[in-house]
Amino acid sequence: MQKATFGAGCFWGVEAAFRKIKGVMSTSAGYMGGTRENPTYKDVCTDKTGHAEVVEVIFDPSLVSYGQLLTRFWEIHDPTTVNRQGPDIGTQYRSVIFCHNAEQESAARASKEYLHKTGPYKRNIVTEITRASTFYRAEEYHQQYLEKQGLICR
Is 153 marked active-site? no
> Phi and psi for 63 in degrees, rounded to 5?
-115, -30
Alpha-carbon gap, residue 128 to 116, rounded angstroms = 13
- Please compute, for residue 79, the number of CA atoms within 13 A of its CA located in the half-sphere on the CB side: 26
Q: Contact at 8 Å (CB) between 57 and 69?
A: yes
CB neighbour class for 49 (10 Å; exposed up to 12, middle 13-18, buried from 19): buried
Q: Report the 10 Å Cβ neighbour count for 25.
A: 13
Q: Residue 36 in contact with residue 91, Cβ under 8 Å?
A: no
Spatial separation of the C-alpha atoms in residues 144 and 154, rounded to whole Å: 10
Among candidate residues 10, 45, 99, 153, the one labeled active-site is 10
Catalytic positions, written as ranges: 10
